C-alpha cells in the first residue's frame, strides 16, 4: 500500500517537551506530485521536512520513501533512496564557487566523493553534469563566483541546483522563495515549473501566489496536525483555512 | 529518471568554467618555492641544520594538524597525543634494538593512526566545545599514562638509550645534522605529496564541504562521520611520523611531546601561516621556530612576549595568517592595475 506513494508518513509524532511539532501526521505524496504544505508560522512545516529528511528523529510513527521504511535510516541513506531537500535559510558552501557547490552533490550521488587519490578536477562527468544544471537554472554565468558574492535570489537558485544534483525522486522545497525580492519570485516559480515531471515535489511556502500557481494539491498544517487536504480551489474556499490565516481562530 | 539536458549549443563560458575547475589541482611553480628554499638553506646555513631538521619535522606535524583543523574544521587541542605516540614508538623501538629509522616511522604511523582511529570513534561524534575538551582529555590522559609507565617511557627522565641506525643502512646520523636534515626533508616531501593529493581529491573537497556547512553535507547524503574519521586517522598517523622524525633526529624523547602545550603551539604556528591552505605550516612553523630561536637569544627572559605580540598582530590584521596577508596584497596590486 505504502508503495503507491513517493513519500508517506504514518502517525508521525514529534514533541519537544510539552510542545507537539508533529502530532500523528498521516501524509502521502503521490509520484510526480506538485503538492504544497502551507500553514501559519510555527505550524511545524519545517519540522516536518526535518523529520522526513532525517535531520530530526520522530518520537513515534513511520516514514516510507517509495514503500521502503526509512524511519531509522540516516540522512545519507534517505538521500540514496531518492530524497532531497532545500532549506528555508540557505545552507550553502559560501566560500566555494557555485559550480563546486553543485559538484559536491553530484560527486556524492555518483559515489566518487570518498575517493582519496584522484583529483576532483579529473571528475569530468560530475563537473559537466553540475554545469549543465547551472545552465538549466540560468546561473551558469556565475559558475566561478563564490556563493557568498551572489545576490540572495540567485543563491536560492543554487540551493535548488544542489538538491537537483542528487537526481531526486522526491524533492522537498522549504520556502524556495523566502527572502527573495518580490520581483524575482517569478524566476523561482519558472525554475520549479520546469522541473522534470517525474520528481514528486513537496513545496513548503508562505507565498500564496507561488502556492496557487504551482500546487495541484495542498495540505494545511496547524499546530503540528493536518487541518485539511485538498485541491487548491477547495482549500481557497475552506472557511477553516481562512480562519487560520486571518487569525480568527479561538481557543475554545 | 533524468534531468533534462540543456541544448547542445554552449557558450565559451561553459568550457572555461569547467576548465578552471579541472586545472585547479595542477602544480603551480610557486609550490616548488618551499623546496628550493629548503635546499638553499642547507648550503647557506650549514650551522643551522640541526634546528633545520626540527623545523622540517615540525612542519610535517603542522601539515597534519592543518588537515584536521584547516580542511575538515575539527578544532583540536590534543594533536600532540599522536605526535607523542609516534615519538615514543620510534624511541622505544630504537632503545630496544630496532634502530632502523624507516621502520620506526612506519611503526609510529601505525600506532598513532590506530590511536587516532580509536579516539576518533568516540570524540568525532561530538561537536564544538565538547569535541575540543575531549581532544584535550585524550592528550592529558596519554601524557599521564606516559608519566606513570616509567618502564616503557622512562617517565620524567625521558626515554633512555636510543640507538638509531643509519638511514636505509647507509646514511649515518652525524653531529652536524647533515643526514638528519636530508632525512627530514625527504619525509616531509613525501608527506606533502600525500597531503596535497588528499586535499585536491574528491574526498578532500568533501572535507571542505563539511567545514563550510555540515548541515548541507548531511542533506546531500555525505556519510560525514566516516569521512571525518578517515581524515582524523590519516592526520594522526602523519603526526605520528612527525614525532618519530623528531625522536630519531634528536635521539631524545621526553614527556613534553605529549603535552597540551605543544598541541596549542602547533595550532598557533599554522594559524600564523594560515590554516586550510596546505602551505600554512610551511610558513608558520619556520616563522615561529626561527622567531623563537632569535627572540630567545636577544631577550631570554621575555621572548615569549614577542611571540605573543606577533600572534596578536597576525590575528588582528591578517585573519588568513601570513599567506592570507600575501593573498590580499596580491589581489590589491592586481586590482589597482
Query: Average pLDDT over chain B, rounded to whole?
Result: 88
Q: Is residue A137 part of a domain?
A: no
Residue A38, min C-alpha distance to chain B (Å): 22
The confidence score (pLDDT) of residue B234 equals 97
The confidence score (pLDDT) of residue B309 equals 86
**String of DSSP letters for B255-318:** GGGG-HHHHHHHHHHHHHH-TTSSSHHHHHHHHHHHHHHHHHHH-TTTHHHHHHHHHHHHHHH-
User: Best mutation site among B13, B28, B202 for testing chain A: the one with the most A CBs within 10 Å?
Assistant: B202
Q: What is the CATH number of the domain that holds A171?
A: 3.40.50.300
Neighbours of A240 (CB within 10 A): 13
Q: Is residue A171 part of a domain?
A: yes
Can you tell me the mean pLDDT for A194-198?
91
The confidence score (pLDDT) of residue B8 equals 44
The reply to whether B205 touches chain A by the CB within 8 Å rule is: yes
Q: In angstroms, rounded to a whole number, what is the distance separating the alpha carbons of residues A20 and A170?
A: 26
Q: Which ranges of chain B have pLDDT less than 50?
A: 1-9
Q: Is B219–A165 a contact, with Cβ atoms under 8 angstroms apart?
A: no
Cβ–Cβ under 8 Å, residues A166 and A112? no
Residues of A in Cβ contact (< 8 Å) with B26: 121
Q: In angstroms, rounded to a whole number, what is the distance separating the alpha carbons of residues A112 and B202?
A: 7
B68: DSSP letter:
I
Neighbours of A162 (CB within 10 A): 29
The confidence score (pLDDT) of residue B337 equals 52
Q: Is residue A139 part of a domain?
A: no
Q: Taking Cα atoms as reference points, which of A231, A123, A116, A138 lies closest to residue A191?
A: A138
pTM of the model: 0.89
**How many domains in chain A?**
1
Query: Average pLDDT over chain A, rounded to whole?
Result: 88
Maximum alpha-carbon separation in chain B: 74
Q: Is residue A117 part of a domain?
A: no
Q: What 3-state class would DSSP assign to A19?
A: strand
CB-nearest partner of A141 from B13, B23, B221? B13
**Model pLDDT for residues A119-129, shown as the tens digit of each residue:** 888 888 889 89
Residue A239, min C-alpha distance to chain B (Å): 37
Per-residue confidence at A247, pLDDT binned at 50, 70, 90?
low
Residues of A in Cβ contact (< 8 Å) with B233: none
The confidence score (pLDDT) of residue B322 equals 87
Residues of B in Cβ contact (< 8 Å) with A121: 21-26, 200
Q: Is B216–A53 a contact, with Cβ atoms under 8 angstroms apart?
A: no
The confidence score (pLDDT) of residue A20 equals 85
Q: Taking Cα atoms as reference points, which of B96, B231, B233 lies closest to residue B154?
A: B96
Residue A24, min C-alpha distance to chain B (Å): 25
Q: Is residue A191 part of a domain?
A: yes
The reply to whether B12 touches chain A by the CB within 8 Å rule is: no
A5-16 β-sheet, strand order: A19-30, A5-16, A60-65, A68-69
Residue A223 cell numbers, joined:
499546530
Q: Taking Cα atoms as reference points, which of A23, A25, A20 lies closest to residue A9?
A: A25
Residue A102, min C-alpha distance to chain B (Å): 10
* Whole-number percent of chain A with pLDDT over 70: 96
CA B186 to mean position of chain CA atoms: 15
Residues of A in Cβ contact (< 8 Å) with B196: none
Q: What 3-state class would DSSP assign to B322?
A: helix
The confidence score (pLDDT) of residue B69 equals 93
**Model pLDDT for residues A101-155, shown as the tens digit of each residue:** 999 999 999 988 888 888 888 888 889 899 999 998 988 888 889 999 999 989 9
Residue B208, min C-alpha distance to chain A (Å): 9
**Model pLDDT for residues A71-88, shown as the tens digit of each residue:** 999 999 999 999 999 999
Q: Is residue A81 part of a domain?
A: yes
Q: Please classify residue B207 by burial: count the beta carbons closer than 10 Å to its beta carbon, then call 0-12 exposed, 13-18 middle and 19+ buried.
A: buried
Q: Is residue A150 part of a domain?
A: no
Q: Is A87–B215 a contact, with Cβ atoms under 8 angstroms apart?
A: yes
Q: In angstroms, rounded to a whole number, what is the distance separating the alpha carbons of residues A71 and A83?
A: 13
Give me the interface pTM, i.e. the ipTM: 0.88
Maximum alpha-carbon separation in chain A: 65
**Model pLDDT for residues B104-139, shown as the tens digit of each residue:** 999 999 999 999 999 999 999 988 899 999 999 999
Q: Is residue A218 part of a domain?
A: yes
End-to-end Cα, chain A, rounded Å = 38
Q: Taking Cα atoms as reference points, which of B182, B183, B207, B196 lies closest to residue B281?
A: B196
* Whole-number percent of chain B with pLDDT over 70: 95
User: Best mutation site among A82, A84, A121 for testing chain B: the one with the most B CBs within 10 Å?
Assistant: A121
The confidence score (pLDDT) of residue B7 equals 44
Q: Is B220–A166 a contact, with Cβ atoms under 8 angstroms apart?
A: yes
Q: Which domain holds residue A177?
A: 2-92+167-246
Amino acid at each position: 500500500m505504502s508503495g503507491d506513494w513517493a513519500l508517506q508518513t504514518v502517525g508521525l509524532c514529534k514533541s519537544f517537551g510539552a510542545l507537539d511539532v508533529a502530532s500523528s501526521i498521516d501524509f502521502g505524496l503521490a509520484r510526480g506530485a506538485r503538492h504544497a504544505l502551507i500553514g501559519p508560522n510555527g505550524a511545524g512545516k519545517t519540522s516536518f521536512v526535518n523529520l522526513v529528511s532525517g535531520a530530526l528523529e520522530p518520537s513515534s510513527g513511520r516514514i516510507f520513501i517509495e514503500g521502503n521504511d526509512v524511519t531509522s535510516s540516516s540522512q545519507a541513506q534517505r538521500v540514496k533512496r531518492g530524497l532531497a531537500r532545500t532549506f528555508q535559510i540557505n545552507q550553502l558552501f559560501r566560500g566555494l564557487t557555485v559550480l563546486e557547490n553543485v559538484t559536491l552533490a553530484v560527486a556524492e550521488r555518483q559515489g566518487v566523493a570518498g575517493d582519496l587519490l584522484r583529483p576532483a578536477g579529473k571528475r569530468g562527468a560530475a563537473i559537466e553534469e553540475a554545469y549543465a544544471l547551472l545552465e538549466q537554472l540560468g546561473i551558469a554565468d556565475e559558475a566561478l563566483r563564490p556563493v557568498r558574492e551572489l545576490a540572495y535570489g540567485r543563491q536560492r537558485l543554487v540551493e535548488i541546483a544542489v538538491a537537483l544534483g542528487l537526481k531526486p525522486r522526491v524533492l522537498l522545497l522549504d520556502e524556495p522563495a523566502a527572502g527573495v525580492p518580490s520581483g524575482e519570485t517569478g524566476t523561482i516559480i519558472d525554475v520549479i515549473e520546469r522541473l522534470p515531471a517525474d520528481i514528486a515535489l513537496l513545496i513548503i511556502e508562505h507565498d500564496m501566489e507561488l502556492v496557487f500557481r504551482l500546487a495541484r494539491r495542498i495540505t494545511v498544517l496547524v499546530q503540528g496536525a493536518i487541518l485539511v487536504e485538498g485541491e487548491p480551489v477547495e482549500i481557497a474556499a475552506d472557511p477553516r483555512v481562512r480562519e487560520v490565516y486571518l487569525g480568527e481562530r479561538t481557543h475554545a | 529518471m533524468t534531468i533534462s539536458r540543456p541544448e547542445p549549443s554552449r557558450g565559451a563560458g561553459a568550457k572555461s568554467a569547467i576548465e578552471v575547475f579541472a586545472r585547479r589541482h595542477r602544480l603551480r611553480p610557486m609550490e616548488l618555492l618551499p623546496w628550493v628554499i629548503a635546499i638553499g638553506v642547507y648550503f647557506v646555513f650549514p650551522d643551522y641544520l640541526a634546528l633545520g631538521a626540527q623545523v622540517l619535522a615540525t612542519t610535517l606535524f603542522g601539515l597534519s594538524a592543518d588537515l584536521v583543523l584547516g580542511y575538515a574544521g575539527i578544532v583540536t587541542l590534543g594533536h600532540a597525543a599522536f605526535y607523542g605516540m609516534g615519538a615514543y614508538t620510534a624511541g622505544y623501538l630504537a632503545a630496544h634494538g630496532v634502530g632502523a629509522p624507516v621502520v620506526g616511522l612506519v611503526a609510529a604511523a601505525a600506532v598513532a593512526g590506530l590511536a587516532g582511529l580509536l579516539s576518533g570513534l568516540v570524540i568525532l561524534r561530538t561537536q564544538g566545545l565538547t569535541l575540543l575538551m575531549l581532544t584535550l582529555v585524550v592528550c592529558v590522559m596519554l601524557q599521564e599514562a606516559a608519566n606513570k609507565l616509567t618502564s616503557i617511557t622512562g617517565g620524567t627522565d625521558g626515554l633512555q638509550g636510543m640507538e638509531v641506525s643509519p638511514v636505509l643502512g647507509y646514511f649515518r646520523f652525524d653531529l652536524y645534522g647533515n643526514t638528519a636534515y636530508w632525512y627530514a626533508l625527504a619525509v616531509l616531501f613525501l608527506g606533502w605529496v600525500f597531503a596535497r593529493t588528499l586535499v585536491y581529491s574528491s574526498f578532500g573537497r568533501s572535507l571542505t564541504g563539511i567545514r563550510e556547512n555540515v548541515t548541507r553535507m548531511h542533506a546531500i547524503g555525505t556519510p560525514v562521520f566516516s569521512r571525518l574519521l578517515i581524515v582524523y586517522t590519516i592526520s594522526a598517523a602523519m603526526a605520528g611520523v612527525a614525532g618519530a622524525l623528531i625522536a630519531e633526529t634528536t635521539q631524545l624523547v621526553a614527556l613534553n611531546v605529549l603535552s597540551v602545550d605543544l598541541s596549542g603551539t602547533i595550532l598557533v604556528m599554522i594559524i600564523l601561516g594560515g590554516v586550510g591552505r596546505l602551505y600554512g605550516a610551511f610558513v608558520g612553523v619556520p616563522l615561529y621556530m626561527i622567531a623563537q630561536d632569535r627572540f630567545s637569544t636577544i631577550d631570554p627572559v621575555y621572548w615569549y612576549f614577542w611571540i605573543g605580540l606577533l600572534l596578536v598582530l597576525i590575528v588582528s590584521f591578517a585573519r588568513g595568517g601570513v599567506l592570507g596577508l600575501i593573498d590580499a596584497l596580491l589581489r590589491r596590486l592586481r586590482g589597482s592595475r
